[in-house]
Amino acid sequence: MDEGKIEFLRVNRHFRNPMVTGQGTVLSIDRLLLRCYLKGKWGYGEVAPWLGFNTESIDEAIRAIEQSSHRYSTLLEILHDSLGTLPCLRAALFSCSHWEIISAFKGELSSAGLVTPFHATTLQTKWTEGFTTLKGKITPHTDIAEVRSWLTDLPASAKIRLDANGSLNIEQTYRWLDFIQNEKRVEFLEQPLPVHHEGYLHLPHDKVALDESFLTPGALSWKGVLIVKPLLAGDGLALLKWGQSHRGKRIYSSVFETAIGRQTALWLAAQDSPATVHGFDTLGRFQADRLDRHSRGPKTMGLPHFDWNLFWHEIK
């Protein structure tokens, strides 16, 4: 077998229903699955960029792999010479090189229910599925009074997370924060303003969570909740090392990755913040493509006995 050889497979996934975010409506996404032969074993990883995040595209990741002539060691040299670039590819290579321990992960993590579309009926549906923490995406057109009325139908023990995907202006943000201060069931408002907006300097850290800004140096000094998308955050070891020195709460979140990326994301979340309610309720959102293999529900678990080599050949 050719030591250090990288193979890749590009896949396109179509949502069953359009995914509406503050950055726009998403109909489908591309993912780049990697397979690398290292130390006599195959390791797997996934390049999984997401709309609105400052990462490389799938095409840029492919160009880097081809520039390396599909050689793992050569690709590491390329990445070393271009620090701060290609975070999704770095995350995927970390996964490949640590796959033996990642693939053995069998732990269980709690997950918030992703409510799409965000309205009263879908909130109730997720609650009946067993999710006690619920996440809804809001836009500049979401009506606060309407959301308030939806929450009155939920038990007092319910926890709500609101995600604006950077779509609000400063006036809208403060209106939502006024609502949240008086609605104790809402944990926080995630990424209300665009990345780098100076308004973040004046927002309360206890009711605002950062998402996209995690990818920028400025976010590392944020004292509030950080939403970490591990497949966008670069090398996994660097991520875990940073987590050891950051005192704030960290919530790990999916980017609608396939089973390969999900196994890696779950393992990283378990190493860093095992007791947190994370954001991995993304299964069952796509047309049947055989790329999801983990179980759905408020508890999400690893796949310690799964045959990943067979999985690779089945989806090729």
The answer to whether 91 and 233 are in contact (CB under 8 A) is yes
Tell whether 149 and 249 lie within a shared domain: yes
- Count of domains forming the chain: 2
Could you tell me if residue 39 is inside a domain? yes
Tell whether 115 and 180 lie within a shared domain: yes
Measured in residues, the chain has a length of 316
Token pair 């840029």: residue: 60
Tell whether 140 and 286 lie within a shared domain: yes
pLDDT tens for 110-169 read 999 999 999 999 999 999 999 999 999 999 999 999 999 999 989 999 999 999 989 999
d(CA 42, CA 35): 6
Residue among 212, 257, 187 nearest 21 (CA): 212
Tell whether 202 and 158 lie within a shared domain: yes
Tell whether 160 and 277 lie within a shared domain: yes
Last residue within a domain, chosen from 70, 103, 136: 103
The answer to whether 188 and 225 are in contact (CB under 8 A) is yes
Last residue within a domain, chosen from 53, 76, 103: 103
Tell whether 125 and 87 lie within a shared domain: no
Could you tell me if residue 211 is inside a domain? yes
Tell whether 124 and 273 lie within a shared domain: yes
Instruction: Tally Cβ neighbours within 10 Å of residue 203.
Output: 20
Tell whether 34 and 69 lie within a shared domain: yes
Instruction: Tally Cβ neighbours within 10 Å of residue 24.
Output: 13
* Residue 160 parent element (H or E): strand 159-163
CATH at residue 275:
3.20.20.120
Can the peptide bond before residue 117 be classed as cis, meaning omega within 30 degrees of 0? yes
Could you tell me if residue 193 is inside a domain? yes
Last residue within a domain, chosen from 103, 135, 164: 103
Tell whether 130 and 173 lie within a shared domain: yes
Strand, coil or helix: 314:
helix
Q: How far apart are the first and last CA of the chain?
A: 19
Tell whether 130 and 89 lie within a shared domain: no
Q: Are strands 108-111 and 299-301 parallel, antiparallel or unpaired?
A: antiparallel
Lowest average pLDDT, out of 40-44, 83-87, 169-173, goes to 83-87
Write out the two tokens for 61: 């990741």
Q: What percent of the chain has pLDDT over 90?
A: 81
Could you tell me if residue 313 is inside a domain? no
Q: Looking at the predicted structure, is the pLDDT value of residue 212 above 70?
A: no
Could you tell me if residue 166 is inside a domain? yes
pTM for the full model? 0.94
The set of residues, in sequence order, having a beta carbon less than 8 Å from that of 199 and lying 6+ positions away, is 170, 173, 193
CATH at residue 80:
3.30.390.10
Q: Looking at the predicted structure, is the pLDDT value of residue 215 above 60?
A: no
Q: Looking at the predicted structure, is the pLDDT value of residue 218 above 80?
A: no
What pLDDT, on the 0 to 100 scale, is given for residue 244?
Answer: 84
Instruction: Tally Cβ neighbours within 10 Å of residue 178.
Output: 11
pLDDT tens for 22-31 read 778 899 999 9
What pLDDT, on the 0 to 100 scale, is given for residue 22?
Answer: 72
Instruction: State the residue range of the domain holding 84.
Output: 6-103
Q: Taking residues 274-302, report their average pLDDT.
A: 96
Amino acid making up residue 132: T
Could you tell me if residue 315 is inside a domain? no
Tell whether 262 and 205 lie within a shared domain: yes
What pLDDT, on the 0 to 100 scale, is given for residue 243?
Answer: 85
If pLDDT is split at 50, 70 and 90, which confidence band does 94 have? very high
Could you tell me if residue 61 is inside a domain? yes
Tell whether 174 and 293 lie within a shared domain: yes
Could you tell me if residue 242 is inside a domain? yes
